[in-house]
Amino acid sequence: MARLLGGLLLVVLAVTLLPGDWPAVDSGLTQSAFAQGAAKTETATAGIAAPKLTPDDYPRIAGVNGRIVVWLVAQLHLWFAAFVLAVPIFVFIIEAIGMSTRDKRYDDMAYEFIKISIAAYSLTAILGGFLVFSLIIFYPHVIQYLGAIFKDTMFYYALLFFLESAALYLYYYGWQWLQGGFRKWVHLTLGLVLNAAGTMLMFLANGWLTFMMSPAGIDPGGIFTGDVWTALHNHLWNPINIHRMVANVAYGGSIVGAYAAFKFLAATRAEERAHYDWMGYTANFIAISALLPLPFAGYYLAAEIYAYSQQMGITLMGGIFAWLFIIQAVLIGTLFLSANYYLWCGMARSEGAARYNRYIKYLAFVIVAAFLVWFTPHTLVLTNEELKALGGPYHKYLGPLGIMPAKNTAVNVMILFTALSFLIYRRANRIAMVGWAKAGNAVQVALFSAGIANIFFLGIYHGYFTNTVYKVASSIPQVITTLVVIAASIVIDAMMYRGAKEVAPLRWGRVPERAQYALFLLAVAFTWLMGLMGYIRSGIRQHWHVVGVFRDNSPDAFTPTLGYAANVVSVGTIIFMAMVIFVFWLSQVSAVKTTPAGFWKEQAS
């Protein structure tokens, strides 16, 4: 219901407030501020100029920091939105798998997934409304400027809310009603509509924020003269769309995994444990599947940021934000290690896995080594004594590991070995029966060996034997190598293990409890990482609302330090986790029935 109200609120806002005649907020906005600006916000053809604001043009509320409020609320909205956009994607896929295999377990699990997210929808809408109000209160001229450019999309955004909500409610409440035959097809179609509406919503919102980073349709005088499509289809729109789409799926998987882990720990019956173990495994599988291409989507986004503005790219990777990527390395290392650890623990489900246990230590060693390379900073921060002892600002041997080609090599190796972990897990309790099994294994070993050799060659050649501008040129062929090796190995594996013999049964539920903590770690690290990357995405605009066009002159226009940002992200993560626990509890409490003895008339008599 809150989602419908949220949609209604946005429609009202879009229709009545956002066009140019929006009543001015009494904030002491000077005449000159809008001399060329808001007065011209009527039509795109006349041009829309950004106002020049003064600190007094930003309304204040005593004791409240507007920027932190907007920051936290936007981040909370984004976390929930990512979750509720992602869950229907894999619910749709799992439902389709259940439909095609006629295995009801898939259908039940898909239903349980969507049940978890249903309460989160309301919270997403409430936080979206809170965000709109926060922006109107603290940054009225910014939202007025963006509203003047994007009013059409904001209107359709609000309408899409209705479509998405209707599709969601029908999809969820009609799950048991629309079962079997044609009805199931109708239900699956509803899932498709739900996903299409959700994705379009995200793309529209992405257009607004990427316009602030890479504005399009701006003339040399800083006036917006383009149309709404030009503004939406700006340079960073698609890179962000792709990155968010992939990240959302990985994130959704990790949150559902945490839910399953909690239920597993709380389960008292063996069947319950088996069910939630399977659910946790599936969620982790979804998270890993999306986690593997995620660094590539990130590199694509960073490359496009460079292509749009070298200055912005350097600020991002080599300037004041450079150290943030060391924190990011710790977080991504945590994600990969916890996802792999969960897989290795999962090998306890079958006695057949014992054959592969001896390889785990090597996998762990390589993944940790790759993480440490990624973690190595280029420039060290040292005291005088340390600098003297080291003989310079760079370490003689570790310094070369601090540059991007070394890190690109490390992350590709980490991804390949994670894929290898998964392949080993898949075959843990089975033996291939096809005649060419030996040859298939040899091809897989050759593929991995050649792929790793190529990744190292590209990284070393481009990183240390070419000009600086070509240093990152190795990243694309490295990515292609990794993807080809993974795709080819999975195809060979799938064919090789068709009709394979089971060595020992896979016993769902027989997994150590510590494996569940790996799932929690995955969810917490992912949430925190998203918050951190949200800070940098927004932070690289520095003192601009819209880069190069609309300057931020508020008292909070400064770029905060990483520690300050981390504290805000941590507070946000704790609030988010508390809200998620509430959502999980809601999904549980709805199934609990209490019969009060002697309370109702009928019982009393």
Partner 1 sequence: MRNFAAVLLFSLVTIGFFTWFSNFGIPQVDPAPPPKEEKLDLGAMTMEQFTALGERVYKGKGTCTLCHSALGGRAPLLQEAGAISKERLADERYKGEAEDMAGYLYESMVKPSAFVVEGFGKAGSSDTVSPMPDVSGGSVGLSDAEMKSVVAYLQKLGGYEITVEIPKDAVPETEEEATSRAPFKTAEAAIAEFACGACHKVAGEEGEVGPDLRKIGRLRDRSYLRRSILDPNAEISKGFEKDQMPADYGEQMYAKELEMIVEYLAALK
Q: Which stretch binds partner 1 (CB under 8 A): 31-39, 147-155, 442-450, 572-580?
A: 572-580
Q: How many CB atoms lie within 10 A of CB 227?
A: 14
Q: Which stretch binds partner 1 (CB under 8 A): 42-50, 84-92, 492-500, 545-553?
A: 545-553
Amino acid of residue 106: Y
Give min distance, CB of 77 to partner 1, in A.
Answer: 20
> Binders of partner 1: how many residues, by CB under 8 A?
61
CA distance 416 to 423: 11
Q: Which stretch binds partner 1 (CB under 8 A): 8-16, 261-269, 271-279, 290-298?
A: 261-269
Footprint on residues 208-247 left by partner 1 (CB under 8 A): 220, 222
List all residues 6 or more positions away from 327 whose beta carbon is below 8 Å from its beta carbon: 532, 562, 566
By the rule CB under 8 A, 93 interacts with partner 1: no
- C-beta closer to partner 1: residue 12 or 387: 387
CA distance 8 to 302: 36
Binding-site member from 30, 55, 185, 319 for partner 1 (CB under 8 A) = 319
Binding-site member from 436, 558, 582, 599 for partner 1 (CB under 8 A) = 558
By CB atoms closer than 10 A (0-12, 13-18, 19+), residue 215 is buried
By the rule CB under 8 A, 543 interacts with partner 1: yes
Q: Which residue has the tokens 């800070």?
A: 535
By the rule CB under 8 A, 384 interacts with partner 1: yes
By the rule CB under 8 A, 251 interacts with partner 1: no
- The helix (H) or strand (E) run that includes residue 115 is helix 104-138
Q: Which stretch binds partner 1 (CB under 8 A): 104-112, 118-126, 436-444, 565-573?
A: 565-573
Binding-site member from 288, 292, 458, 521 for partner 1 (CB under 8 A) = 521
Q: Which stretch binds partner 1 (CB under 8 A): 33-41, 66-74, 364-372, 381-389?
A: 381-389
Q: Which residues of 240-272 are buried (b: 16+ CB within 10 A; e: fewer)?
A: bbbbbbbbbbbbbbbbbbbbbbbbbeebeeeee
Give min distance, CB of 188 to partner 1, in A.
Answer: 35
- Taking CA atoms, 317 is separated from 215, 325, 404, in Å, by 21, 8, 10
By the rule CB under 8 A, 268 interacts with partner 1: no
Binding-site member from 31, 100, 468, 595 for partner 1 (CB under 8 A) = 468
Q: How many CB atoms lie within 10 A of CB 507?
A: 15
**What count of Cα atoms within 13 Å lies in the side-chain half-sphere of residue 87?**
25
CA distance 2 to 6: 6
End-to-end Cα separation, the chain, in angstroms: 38
- Taking CA atoms, 393 is separated from 87, 403, 435, 562, in Å, by 47, 14, 58, 22
Q: Which stretch binds partner 1 (CB under 8 A): 32-40, 100-108, 433-441, 519-527?
A: 519-527
By the rule CB under 8 A, 311 interacts with partner 1: yes
- C-beta closer to partner 1: residue 238 or 588: 588
By the rule CB under 8 A, 505 interacts with partner 1: no
Residues that bind partner 1 (CB under 8 A): 220, 222, 262, 265-266, 307, 309-312, 314-315, 318-320, 323, 326-327, 330-331, 377, 381-382, 384-385, 387-388, 391-393, 467-469, 473, 517, 520-521, 524-525, 528, 532, 542-544, 547-548, 552, 557-563, 565-567, 570, 573-574, 577
